[in-house]
Chains A and B, each alone.
Chain A
């Protein structure tokens, strides 16, 4: 797709309003809640806080892109543990978990809490998020061993 937009437009609105990628959510718009978390060159970033201009030439992965990796252990664990309730923040949670597990294959509870505190959940799904991350980490380590 080719777009002509003001280069100051935050990535979030480019994704949502211009590319119809609505999996990244608008909730606070000021970089506090993490509902719009995406990966920019593999780093978790809040899409409401970076402009279209700043991501030129970079690889952006949203929840839609991550979900294309069929049966990713994180999504599998999220389903098995039945994490989401209203679900609005969950794409942000999953992106954040993905970034965490990329750098840490066996995070402790404290490490999980610290990393995941960047994404707020109004339903309070934190205990299940923690559980799902442990489970996904286990599946990913097993996969590593067997491959």
Chain B
């Protein structure tokens, strides 16, 4: 991966302008590889894959693996079109490189956004190997086929391995047009394939960010203000420095840092810190006041319109007694099992950052901003020189859930390493991780509905109020209701806010589906039947029917109660039926949850189950 175009600066500009990963397909690394010192050059037709002369196919994955199975699914997409022998496929996390466009994993989009790009990357390589194979056999290309990492010429019963063709293929031009496989010829896509990262996750050899070890590395930890935005006024750093194993103790804008010879010494010293904080504006911030602020703002006129259909307001005025409800959903912390951590090594030539991040691109930007703040007179030349030196390495992530889209731990680690002048690992204790999350926002949902004489909903009014709240999941309503109004009141937050799994879909879906049930009950309808009657998305209707049947919807009793819900997000449709069972003490316990998903094309079905 070191054999990249020397004119990197030009390249950065190019990819920034196009900002899409498809760009890479036009890039050939062939020349630089040929000029490298290797006797037998590998074949790297594009940034996504390399075939070595030992026949190993290495696929570079530019999305973070945090348990969602992305390494395997994306590799399958390349290998499918490449007609690679799956046993010879390996994955490596792509280095941070403009060739991949913006590197950031989130929004449930890894498969969707790589779907075309990666199949194209595999197909281009396959076409080049076919060309090389035809040339090798000295036959017409029409008679050649790619199959399990070999080019086969059936007429003469000959075949040659990809390994034996890589040198020849590397010299060929990139084909200008290629044909993708027809879905009915897929061998990998749609089959359950064991995860490629599994063996190392079973024997303890998998390296997450926190498992990065460098020679001479020291260990740092941090205390940040217990009040958001607070600053250190005074701290007993000189006492701390006398403790065994302590290398340094100092203050940053973010809080107080302890550096030690091992993590435990750093954690113990952290506990011994006596800090006086200047708490600032947020000192009196509390949940009750935040909730009250939401309630007050809910009635203001500054709402933004999300969805309007029919004449909802005049309809509501005509009805003196609409059905009304309010749902309050709390702040949520991410609690990634692997706490925030980052390892940094600053050397003359390069600044290496091991960041278990969802976005290496953002990690680099945060690191650069941190370094910029530390150098005297940061001229454009100095900044560019710094940028050239930064290398971000993405190990496995022990969970992400959106938290690792925010790079506070990266910029802290860079600042500490800059001061210490030794390789360094920053680890937040669990308490720090929980107290300094970028929380999923608190939201309030006010809903009003009107039924006709048959108990069928005629008016739907959903008002979302929250801190940096989003409308996704509420901009469409899957039900045919004549009059709809969805509005949103988005307030600035004194609490750090960040994305959480599904971003805003789950709080909006929660409100919509619960209120739909309230309307069904008020109108005397079965919540399932009313959904089936009013659902306008046929795919939702189908999966809800399947789920209801699988859960035996019709077999309900006082002892066995069922509820159902549907939602569409990120191109997928989901239906769930939840069972509650009354136990001997007349209390309900959760029984079986039946979930049916229509996510379109499935790459690796076992990872969806």
> Are A17 and B219 within 8 A (Cβ)?
yes
* Contact of B202 (CB < 8 Å), options: A5, A17, A21, A94: A94
Interface check B530, CB cutoff 8 A: no
Shortest beta-carbon distance from B440 to chain A in Å = 15
The distance in angstroms between the C-alpha atoms of A123 and B66, with both chains bound, is 10
Contact with B along A10-26 (1 / 0, CB 8 A): 10010011101111111
Q: Please indicate the chain A residues that have their CB under 8 angstroms from the CB of B197 in the complex.
A: 87
Q: Please indicate the chain B residues that have their CB under 8 angstroms from the CB of A21 in the complex.
A: 204
Q: Which one of A29-37, A98-106, A138-146 is at the interface?
A: A29-37
> Are A122 and B202 within 8 A (Cβ)?
no
> Are B430 and A28 within 8 A (Cβ)?
yes
The distance in angstroms between the C-alpha atoms of A23 and B397, with both chains bound, is 14
Interface check B429, CB cutoff 8 A: yes
* Contact of A91 (CB < 8 Å), options: B195, B198, B204, B400: B204
Q: Please indicate the chain A residues that have their CB under 8 angstroms from the CB of B267 in the complex.
A: 29
Q: Please indicate the chain B residues that have their CB under 8 angstroms from the CB of A35 in the complex.
A: 337
> Are B203 and A86 within 8 A (Cβ)?
no
- Assuming the contacts A6-B244, A82-B195, asked whether A90 and B202 have C-beta atoms less than 8 A apart, the reply is yes
How many A-B residue pairs have C-beta atoms within 8 angstroms? Tell me: 114
> Are A63 and B264 within 8 A (Cβ)?
no
The distance in angstroms between the C-alpha atoms of A62 and B337, with both chains bound, is 19
> Are B430 and A90 within 8 A (Cβ)?
no
Q: Count of chain A residues with Cβ under 8 Å from any Cβ of B?
A: 42
> Are B204 and A67 within 8 A (Cβ)?
yes
Shortest beta-carbon distance from B604 to chain A in Å = 10
> Are A30 and B338 within 8 A (Cβ)?
no
Q: Which residue of B lies closest to A63 (CB)?
A: B204
Q: Which residue of A lies closest to B425 (CB)?
A: A17
Shortest beta-carbon distance from B118 to chain A in Å = 22
Q: Please indicate the chain B residues that have their CB under 8 angstroms from the CB of A82 in the complex.
A: 194-195, 198, 606-607
Q: Which one of B85-93, B208-216, B446-454 is at the interface?
A: B208-216
| Interface residue SS majority, chain B | loop
> Are B219 and A87 within 8 A (Cβ)?
no
Shortest beta-carbon distance from B496 to chain A in Å = 21
Q: Please indicate the chain A residues that have their CB under 8 angstroms from the CB of B116 in the complex.
A: none
Shortest beta-carbon distance from B556 to chain A in Å = 24
Most buried by B among A6, A63, A87, A90: A87
The distance in angstroms between the C-alpha atoms of A94 and B203, with both chains bound, is 10
* Contact of B69 (CB < 8 Å), options: A5, A30, A85, A90: A85
> Are B398 and A29 within 8 A (Cβ)?
no
> Are A87 and B203 within 8 A (Cβ)?
no
Q: Which residue of B lies closest to A18 (CB)?
A: B262
- Assuming the contacts A82-B606, A87-B197, asked whether A27 and B211 have C-beta atoms less than 8 A apart, the reply is no
The distance in angstroms between the C-alpha atoms of A85 and B198, with both chains bound, is 8
Q: Please indicate the chain B residues that have their CB under 8 angstroms from the CB of A85 in the complex.
A: 67-69
- Assuming the contacts A67-B202, A75-B202, asked whether A88 and B337 have C-beta atoms less than 8 A apart, the reply is yes
Interface check A49, CB cutoff 8 A: no
Q: Which residue of B lies closest to A89 (CB)?
A: B337
The distance in angstroms between the C-alpha atoms of A58 and B291, with both chains bound, is 54
Contact with A along B242-284 (1 / 0, CB 8 A): 0011000000000000000011110100000000000000000
The distance in angstroms between the C-alpha atoms of A120 and B194, with both chains bound, is 23
- Assuming the contacts A27-B339, A79-B199, A122-B335, asked whether A87 and B262 have C-beta atoms less than 8 A apart, the reply is no
The distance in angstroms between the C-alpha atoms of A26 and B433, with both chains bound, is 13
Shortest beta-carbon distance from A71 to chain B in Å = 11
Interface check A126, CB cutoff 8 A: no
Shortest beta-carbon distance from B243 to chain A in Å = 11
Most buried by A among B337, B398, B607: B337
> Are B264 and A9 within 8 A (Cβ)?
yes
The distance in angstroms between the C-alpha atoms of A63 and B204, with both chains bound, is 6
Q: Please indicate the chain B residues that have their CB under 8 angstroms from the CB of A33 in the complex.
A: 337
* Contact of B429 (CB < 8 Å), options: A23, A29, A123: A29
Q: Please indicate the chain A residues that have their CB under 8 angstroms from the CB of B397 in the complex.
A: 86
Further 12 A-B residue pairs, CB within 8 A, beyond A82-B606, A87-B198, A87-B201: A21-B204, A22-B204, A22-B207, A23-B204, A23-B205, A27-B430, A28-B430, A84-B202, A86-B397, A88-B399, A89-B337, A123-B67
Counting from the closest, the 6 A-B pairs by CB-CB distance are A23-B204, A86-B67, A88-B398, A85-B67, A87-B201, A67-B203
Q: List 23 A-B contacts (CB under 8 A).
A: A6-B245, A10-B264, A13-B264, A17-B262, A18-B262, A21-B204, A22-B207, A23-B204, A27-B430, A62-B204, A63-B203, A79-B198, A79-B199, A84-B202, A85-B67, A86-B66, A87-B197, A88-B337, A90-B201, A94-B202, A120-B337, A122-B399, A123-B67
B residues at A contact (CB < 8 Å)? 66-69, 194-195, 197-199, 201-208, 210-211, 213, 219, 244-245, 262-265, 267, 335-339, 396-400, 427, 429-430, 606-607
A residues at B contact (CB < 8 Å)? 5-6, 9-10, 13, 16-18, 20-30, 33, 35, 62-64, 67, 75, 78-79, 82, 84-91, 94, 120-123
